[in-house]
């Protein structure tokens, strides 16, 4: 395993420790605002409006995952429907991301499918695009089955995510190609064992480029989701060399990460979206952001030291 992935694995393991989680929830709440728009829908919409003024579109995501009861799942569905209804009133592009474990996937695939249908009925009527995030490897198969079922039922405004670090991803692409999917391509942010995922950053990056180029050749609309300047540069070079118009793909980056790059790409005429999470359940998301880069860990340390000083 290379040092980058070893760092990520260690951080994700430490983040699961109850003492560490409790400390960050108590002392580091100010840090989450670097990557999360806020805890309320109103704060998320305000962040989205600010991005629109800069030429960057927002992907709004209500944070939360792995619910433990049907009641929780239905409560999340209602909150996502509130988001859809709020976006219906906005003049800018309307885009929502969600996780199937918010909607009870771990309880029942049928429950998640039912709740997704309810969201998509309102979303399509309101002109809101919905993307199902891809979670860790044990949940990939069920996510693909639900995507396939919904596309067969005629829901067109639905996207999916594929992760380049999983060995299985090219076969998953073969599975969904007949539906002419809208795919967000990411490297992958979950801690995965060597049995199912590449453990070398160079191999993950190479697979990312291979999948991106194949999808573009196959006519798939690709959301290229990376902050890596080399991968962004290669995507620009490849699409220009192949004569692929800018309306066949877009770039997606995270809220609070390389905002200057987001604005620059938008000025160059590319469609750019920022993934804008919000909500009370921000800790798992923040953990994955900390695990992405060692610099982010230093931000946590500074935030915690500042919190301790203020309370000491």
**184 part of the active site:** yes
The verdict on whether residue 116 carries a ligand-binding annotation is no
Please list, in sequence order, all residues whose beta carbon lies within 8 angstroms of the beta carbon of residue 265, skipping any fewer than 6 positions away: 232, 251, 272
Q: Is 27 designated active site?
A: no
According to the annotation, is 22 in a ligand binding site?
Answer: no
Calculate the alpha carbon distances from 156 to 103, 135, 153 in Å: 20, 22, 9
Residue among 27, 94, 184, 273 flagged as catalytic:
184
Residue 188 assigned ligand-binding role: yes
Report how far residue 148's alpha carbon sits from residue 153's, in angstroms, rounded to the nearest whole number: 9
99 known member of a binding site: yes
214 is in an annotated binding site: no
Question: Would you say 289 is a known binding-site residue?
Answer: yes
Which two tokens mark 286? Answer: 């923040």
Residue 90 annotated as part of some ligand binding site: no
Residue 226, annotated as binding a ligand: yes
57 is in an annotated binding site: no
| Cα(62)–Cα(29) distance, integer angstroms | 17
134 is in an annotated binding site: yes
3-state secondary structure the chain: CCHHHHHHHHHHHHHCCHHHHHHHHHHCHHHHCCCCCCCCHHHHHHHHHHHHHCCCEEEEEECCCCCCCHHHHHHHHHHHHHHHHHHCCCCCCCEEEECHHHHCCCCCHHHHHHHHHHHHHHHHHHCCEEEECCCCHHHHHHHHHHHHHHHHCCCCCEEEEEECCECCHHHHHHHHHHHCCEEEEECCCCCCCCCCECCCHHHHHHHHHHHHHHHHHCCCEEEEECCCHHHHHHHHHHHHHCCCCHHHEEEEEECCCCHHHHHHHHHCCCCEEEEEEECCCCHHHHHHHHHHCHHHHHHHHHHHHHHHHHHC
236 is in an annotated binding site: no
Q: Which of 8, 27, 106, 133 is catalytic?
A: 133
Annotated binding site for substrate: 99, 288-289
Question: What positions carry a catalytic annotation?
Answer: 133, 184
Annotated binding site for FAD: 134, 163, 187-189, 201, 226-227
Annotated binding site: 99, 134, 163, 187-189, 201, 226-227, 288-289
């Amino acid at each position: 395993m290379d040092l980058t992935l070893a760092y990520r694995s260690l951080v994700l393991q430490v983040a699961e420790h109850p003492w560490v989680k409790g400390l960050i929830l108590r002392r580091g709440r100010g840090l989450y605002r670097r990557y999360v728009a806020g805890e309320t829908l109103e704060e998320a919409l305000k962040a989205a409006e600010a991005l629109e003024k800069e030429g960057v579109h927002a992907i709004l995501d209500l944070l939360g995952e792995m619910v433990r009861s049907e009641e929780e799942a239905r409560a999340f569905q209602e909150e996502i429907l509130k988001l859809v209804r709020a976006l219906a009133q906005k003049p800018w592009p309307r885009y929502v991301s969600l996780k199937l474990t918010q909607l009870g996937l771990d309880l029942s695939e049928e429950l998640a499918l039912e709740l997704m249908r309810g969201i998509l009925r309102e979303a399509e009527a309101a002109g809101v695009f919905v993307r199902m995030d891809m979670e860790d490897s044990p949940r990939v198969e069920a996510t693909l089955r639900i995507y396939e079922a919904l596309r067969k039922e005629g829901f067109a405004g639905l996207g999916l995510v594929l992760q380049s670090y999983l060995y299985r991803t090219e076969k998953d692409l073969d599975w969904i190609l007949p539906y002419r999917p809208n795919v967000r391509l990411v490297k992958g942010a979950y801690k995965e064992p060597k049995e199912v995922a590449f453990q070398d950053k160079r191999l993950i990056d190479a697979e990312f480029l291979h999948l991106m180029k194949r999808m573009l050749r196959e006519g798939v609309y690709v959301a290229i989701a990376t902050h890596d300047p080399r991968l962004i540069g290669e995507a620009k070079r490849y699409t220009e060399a192949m004569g692929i118009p800018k309306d066949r793909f877009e770039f997606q980056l995270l809220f609070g990460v390389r905002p200057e790059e987001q604005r620059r790409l938008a000025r160059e005429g590319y469609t750019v979206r920022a993934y804008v999470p919000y909500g009370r359940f921000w800790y798992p998301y923040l953990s994955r952001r900390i695990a992405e880069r060692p610099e982010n860990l230093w931000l946590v340390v500074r935030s915690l030291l500042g919190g301790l000083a203020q309370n000491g």
